[in-house]
Structure 1
Amino acid sequence: MALLSKQPEADPRPHQAAFREISSIAQWKLAGDVVLVPDPDNIDDVTRDDLTKISHWSDMTDADIPRLAVLTDSFFRFIDEGQDASVIAIWRDGAPLVRQIDGAPCEAVTDLVMDAITGEKALSEKWVGLPPLEAEIEKLAYQKGYSAGHRPKWLEREARRRLEELSVDPPSPANDNRTDDARLRELFGDGQMGVDQNTGKHFLANCKHDGKVGVAEIGPDGQPRFKAYATQPRPAIKATPFALRDPSSLPARDWLFARHYIRKFLTSTVGAGGGGKSAHSISEILAMVTGRPLLDPEGPLTKPLRVWYINAEDPQEEIDRRFHAAAKHFDVTPDQIADRLYTDSGRDQEFVIMRQEGRDLKVCQPLIDEMVSEIRRREIDVVIVDPLVSTHEVPENDNGAMQRVAKAWLEVSDRGNCCVEVIHHVVKNSGEVTADSARGGGALKDKTRGMRVINAMTREEADKAGLDTPDGYFRIDNGKVNLVASGRSEWRRFANVPLMNGSGLLDRGDEIGVVEAWRWPAAADAVAGVSEEALHAIKRKINGSDCRDNVQSSQWAGYKVAEALQMNMANPAEKKEVRRMLEAWKRQGHFTIEQRPDYKGVERPCLVPVFHTSSD
């Protein structure tokens, strides 16, 4: 009996092979993304929002094979037009169908795609084949979206810097008789070698370059090129054993300034619009770069820091006015600043770290990489971004989206070995500003190491301080810790500084608000931030308890104060603060001293609350 010949088994996953074929075309021919169209028989009215991007064959099923297509856009990479054009390529019965679906009509972009599919002309970037410097300038121009012929001088400087950093001459294909697969193995090491069925050229999949995984091949110009996967594989999770050692051997936290700015962390200052956030940051920046205690007149000199201030909204001229006004007010000289201060405007350079593309959120990784490179090159200690809202395009009421924005800036601080401080707004009508008042819910608060909140002085506080008006005064508190304002609040006020840049002798020109330190009058200083409600609660605790006036006594009234205000009496500084509070309240008539007998009948001085009003 003759054996039946074995029939070939059917491919159990035909969609896997289909995806890989389309992915190869997208990656090596059309410089695009693999997508699924809603209806493969009708793509005339399709837009980008109708497409579904897929990055792996597991994202589709066999039924989706006819829907596979390639989306190519950003044609400014290839020609001096079609910057906003999007072109879809789909194969019906093996024949390619090419349509432009978005952007200004441009026949050239569909011709380019069709030529690339048929092999008449490769779809390659404009800078391929140019000398290294010209090529780098063109790459930068594309990244910044500059039109043809518009090449600012700074592009050449930045291109030269990048080439110097690379300091690697591209290998020449001349006299190199090694096969493509041998060259790829030598350059990129491990990976899976394959052959493109359409071109017959070798490619090395799943290889690594600059810490990323991707595919490498020898390009049409004979040069090796590497393309990282859009989605990088996640390293395997592993548990790290903990080793207990001498605590003194642990590195101390690298605080940079004011116990708020800390290296490798994200920090934030939040407050209402026009409340002093930007002006306060400028005064702090001058204190950081000069090392002078500008906002703490009694404080010590500190190590000068290098600071990069990025105002994403105001023009450079306005930034200059504010810094010159602050420097004039604090008598800061050019020598004191030296080369430690950098300022940039979002109107001259783009600092958008996350974009909304259709239904997707996309982190602008090239921006992060460029910022990290510049921070390292300049040895920046602190980066201040003002305001956060102008550095992203995501809805601020989306807690998850805001968390990704914060994570992107945290990446900058970690990789740049610096502190990134973001200035942020609060929701409208938030009343007393707390950390929870910041836009984006708890997303930003959870990602920051330190968050400060700014609140304008109230009418009640102005009356306590003996001021005619609270205008121009505000306090700064730690928003992530349940602290009472009192002595631990930092108070500031605006000083009006004329620039004397007017057109005549009597015209003082622009007047700029500069933030300076302010202290409460001595009589009110200790209890400045304690509300009437808090004082009423303290009086109730002390009333009828025979609390002693003597700080040495275990029954001292100060312990009731600390309990009401959640203060730590084991801390000598806080215990001293409570003592100052009680002395101030006694001077103000809120408490009197009465002699009362103890359990032995000995008269002891006790603190007795005085209830002045009906509210007390």
Structure 2
Amino acid sequence: MLTFERQISIGSLIALAKAGGWDASSWMARATSPIPANTFPVTIDQFEIGNVWNNIPHREWLMPPLLVAKHYSMLVATGASGKSAVAITMALALLTGRQDMLGLNVVRPCKVLLINGEDGQEELVRRVRAACFHFGIGLPAVAGRLHIVGARQVAGLTFNRVQPGGAAADQSGLDRLEQLIRQTGADVVIVDPLSSFLPGGTNDGASASAVAGRLTEICVAANCAMLLVHHTSKAAQREGDNDPTAALGSAMWTNHARSVINLRRLTATEAQAIGKPPSASKDLLVLLHSKANLSRAEDAIYIELVSVELPNASPPFYPRGDSVGVATRLQPGTAVSLFTAPIDQAVIAQIAKGTPAGRPYKASGRRGQQNYRPDIAAILAPHFPQDSQAAREKLAKDLIERLIREGRLMIRNESLPRAGGGKGGGKIADILQAPHDVQTMGTGAPQGTNSISESMSAPVHGQSGPTQGGTELPLGGVGESGARETSHQRSEA
């Protein structure tokens, strides 16, 4: 018997067989013979476009432009960013057909299968119950239409597996998923998060493509839409996660998806731009439609996480019900909406009053005895108690810049007295000044404060600050953009 220390190719094996007397002629004839035309599994007529030209079915959108039957989409976000809360609210919107919950269009009420690989069914029910409580949804609206599968509740529900040489699609687990979908009659399936069902990892491109292709086959066979909730990669967290390729692992996951939406938290500056204090940024999210194959991308959608208390108190150890985070739509405002008219009036009055030493505030807002930020931050403190002193001073700067752009404060260039006295004037500096013809408002203004009449609300030069999408953009420097009155101009007047 021949033994080989190394692997042998099929060609070498055939050559050895021939050398041993094997007649390969009949085998070669069968291998090279053409396939008979009548054994080809399809007919060419089915590819003729004329057969379907006047019979094109409408795309079966369920939540346009994000979810469509026979395809899967992806919701990509960092860990602990609220993606599960958003997925649950999306599920309830699809169940009820309501469009107000997230501002997303829902074509018709759907049956939903919610599968979670991290939370058990008990925790999932807790979160769904809190969202229903917040949106006023009763049990009759969801009973029989929402099925919940918690972590490890169905054995063998995995999409890939580890094998020598890499990962491979787990056909048994994928078949089990299809069976669940068919048994529940789900129109929409939400898998959260995808990585929990991939013990073979997310990086192997070949297995990712195989799993993604099988998931699409399941969507087609069951005529359902699927939403895969997935994590962003570490690189995306460093460099920005607004791109569809920000998803963790192989690009095949997003390549096969028809739609990808990215979810992330707002920065403190972004929160302020939509009319929220910096301290609120931890609860503010934005949905960005980064990939849209079948239609135009959806506009940015803002979401707020609110705390909802369940009616499940259990005294004496638990005198209050569980507190659960629920995702709900946020209507963005503008930076102007952060500050009420009385705040504006109090700030203008403080600028007119000057520092405790009676000196004017410098327009630069730099540190020093004539820095307006600490004094204006003190006015803002009762209105923004959750924000830090540094955040309130940042708000003070933005508020002063807006009042300058609106012409309700002015910048005057003058020579300041020397620090500590002495002959001659000091250095030339830009100082803040309230216009001379201020009027005291009848109501709402604190006692003794001065305010601008409606006729003075227009900018001095007839121009407002730059805007983008209704939100004021921060200025590079107050001295270059605000209304300015120089000593020379005053002498001419």
Class of the TM-score when normalised by the shorter of the 2 chains:
0.5 to 0.7
Corresponding residue for residue 331 of structure 1? 136
Corresponding residue for residue 127 of structure 2? 322
For 1:613, the aligned partner's letter is: G
Quote the sequence identity (%): 26
Could you tell me how far 1:460 is from its partner in structure 2?
Answer: 1.9
- For the residues of structure 2 that align with 1:258 and 1:246, how far apart are their CA atoms? 24
Structure 1: gaps (5+ residues): 1-13, 16-36, 41-51, 66-233, 526-585, 592-609
Could you tell me how far 1:504 is from its partner in structure 2?
Answer: 2.0
Equivalent residues in 2 for 1:266-305, closer than 5 Å: 266-296=72-102, 302-305=107-110
CA contact (8 A) 2:65 2:298 kept: no
Corresponding residue for residue 411 of structure 1? 217
CA 501–64 in structure 1, closer or farther in 2 if over 3 Å, else same: farther
Corresponding residue for residue 363 of structure 2? none
- 1:507 and 2:319 correspond: yes
Give the TM-score, by structure 1 length: 0.46
Equivalent residues in 2 for 1:461-610, closer than 5 Å: 461-469=270-278, 470-481=281-292, 488-504=299-315, 507-521=319-333, 588-590=464-466
CA 248–464 in structure 1, closer or farther in 2 if over 3 Å, else same: farther
- For the residues of structure 2 that align with 1:243 and 1:395, how far apart are their CA atoms? 41
- For the residues of structure 2 that align with 1:283 and 1:417, how far apart are their CA atoms? 22
- For the residues of structure 2 that align with 1:461 and 1:320, how far apart are their CA atoms? 33
Could you tell me how far 1:426 is from its partner in structure 2?
Answer: 0.7
CA contact (8 A) 1:294 1:330 kept: no
For 2:291, the aligned partner's letter is: K
CA 253–518 in structure 1, closer or farther in 2 if over 3 Å, else same: same
Corresponding residue for residue 581 of structure 1? none
- For the residues of structure 1 that align with 2:53 and 2:113, how far apart are their CA atoms? 34
For 1:327, the aligned partner's letter is: C
For 2:13, the aligned partner's letter is: T
- 1:394 and 2:394 correspond: no
Could you tell me how far 1:238 is from its partner in structure 2?
Answer: 7.8
- For the residues of structure 2 that align with 1:381 and 1:420, how far apart are their CA atoms? 8
Structure 2: gaps (5+ residues): 18-38, 338-461, 468-472, 482-493
Equivalent residues in 2 for 1:181-192, closer than 5 Å: none
- For the residues of structure 2 that align with 1:291 and 1:59, how far apart are their CA atoms? 62
Corresponding residue for residue 448 of structure 1? 257
RMSD: 4.0
For 1:435, the aligned partner's letter is: P
- For the residues of structure 1 that align with 2:121 and 2:259, how far apart are their CA atoms? 28
Corresponding residue for residue 240 of structure 2? 432
For 2:476, the aligned partner's letter is: T
CA contact (8 A) 2:85 2:327 kept: yes
Corresponding residue for residue 262 of structure 1? 68
Could you tell me how far 1:252 is from its partner in structure 2?
Answer: 1.0
- For the residues of structure 2 that align with 1:473 and 1:235, how far apart are their CA atoms? 57
* 3-state SS in 2 of match to 1:422: strand
CA 499–401 in structure 1, closer or farther in 2 if over 3 Å, else same: same
CA contact (8 A) 1:472 1:493 kept: yes
Could you tell me how far 1:390 is from its partner in structure 2?
Answer: 1.2
CA 301–380 in structure 1, closer or farther in 2 if over 3 Å, else same: closer
Could you tell me how far 1:385 is from its partner in structure 2?
Answer: 0.6
Corresponding residue for residue 423 of structure 1? 229
Corresponding residue for residue 3 of structure 1? none
- For the residues of structure 2 that align with 1:456 and 1:359, how far apart are their CA atoms? 38
For 1:457, the aligned partner's letter is: L
CA contact (8 A) 1:314 1:347 kept: no
Could you tell me how far 1:365 is from its partner in structure 2?
Answer: 2.2
**1:531-567 CA distances to partner (integer Å, 9 max, x unpaired)?**
xxxxxxxxxxxxxxxxxxxxxxxxxxxxxxxxxxxxx
Equivalent residues in 2 for 1:61-72, closer than 5 Å: 61=13
Could you tell me how far 1:429 is from its partner in structure 2?
Answer: 4.6
- For the residues of structure 2 that align with 1:290 and 1:487, how far apart are their CA atoms? 21
Equivalent residues in 2 for 1:83-232, closer than 5 Å: none
Corresponding residue for residue 419 of structure 2? none
**1:244-277 CA distances to partner (integer Å, 9 max, x unpaired)?**
4786631111101242111110111001111121
CA contact (8 A) 2:93 2:106 kept: no
**1:287-317 CA distances to partner (integer Å, 9 max, x unpaired)?**
11122234256x8875220110000121111
CA 521–364 in structure 1, closer or farther in 2 if over 3 Å, else same: same
CA 490–359 in structure 1, closer or farther in 2 if over 3 Å, else same: same
Could you tell me how far 1:283 is from its partner in structure 2?
Answer: 0.6
Corresponding residue for residue 603 of structure 1? none
- For the residues of structure 2 that align with 1:513 and 1:59, how far apart are their CA atoms? 64
- For the residues of structure 1 that align with 2:123 and 2:161, how far apart are their CA atoms? 27
* 3-state SS in 2 of match to 1:613: coil
Could you tell me how far 1:236 is from its partner in structure 2?
Answer: 6.5
For 1:432, the aligned partner's letter is: G
CA contact (8 A) 1:392 1:405 kept: no
CA contact (8 A) 1:267 1:420 kept: yes
* 3-state SS in 2 of match to 1:488: coil
Higher relative contact order (CA 8 A, sep 6+): 2
- For the residues of structure 2 that align with 1:523 and 1:238, how far apart are their CA atoms? 64
From 53, 57, 60, the counterpart of 1:251: 57
**1:405-443 CA distances to partner (integer Å, 9 max, x unpaired)?**
222222221222111211000111524212111012421
Corresponding residue for residue 115 of structure 2? 310
CA 587–349 in structure 1, closer or farther in 2 if over 3 Å, else same: farther
CA 336–487 in structure 1, closer or farther in 2 if over 3 Å, else same: closer
CA 465–389 in structure 1, closer or farther in 2 if over 3 Å, else same: same
- 1:346 and 2:151 correspond: yes
- For the residues of structure 2 that align with 1:588 and 1:486, how far apart are their CA atoms? 31
* 3-state SS in 2 of match to 1:496: strand
From 260, 268, 292, the counterpart of 1:459: 268
- How many positions carry a matched residue from both structures? 320
Could you tell me how far 1:452 is from its partner in structure 2?
Answer: 0.6
- For the residues of structure 1 that align with 2:203 and 2:284, how far apart are their CA atoms? 30
CA 373–503 in structure 1, closer or farther in 2 if over 3 Å, else same: closer
CA 455–374 in structure 1, closer or farther in 2 if over 3 Å, else same: closer
- For the residues of structure 2 that align with 1:462 and 1:611, how far apart are their CA atoms? 13
CA contact (8 A) 1:327 1:333 kept: yes
Could you tell me how far 1:393 is from its partner in structure 2?
Answer: 2.3
For 1:590, the aligned partner's letter is: P
CA 466–301 in structure 1, closer or farther in 2 if over 3 Å, else same: closer
CA contact (8 A) 1:412 1:420 kept: no
- For the residues of structure 2 that align with 1:410 and 1:495, how far apart are their CA atoms? 35
CA 294–452 in structure 1, closer or farther in 2 if over 3 Å, else same: same
CA contact (8 A) 1:394 1:402 kept: no
- For the residues of structure 2 that align with 1:402 and 1:312, how far apart are their CA atoms? 18
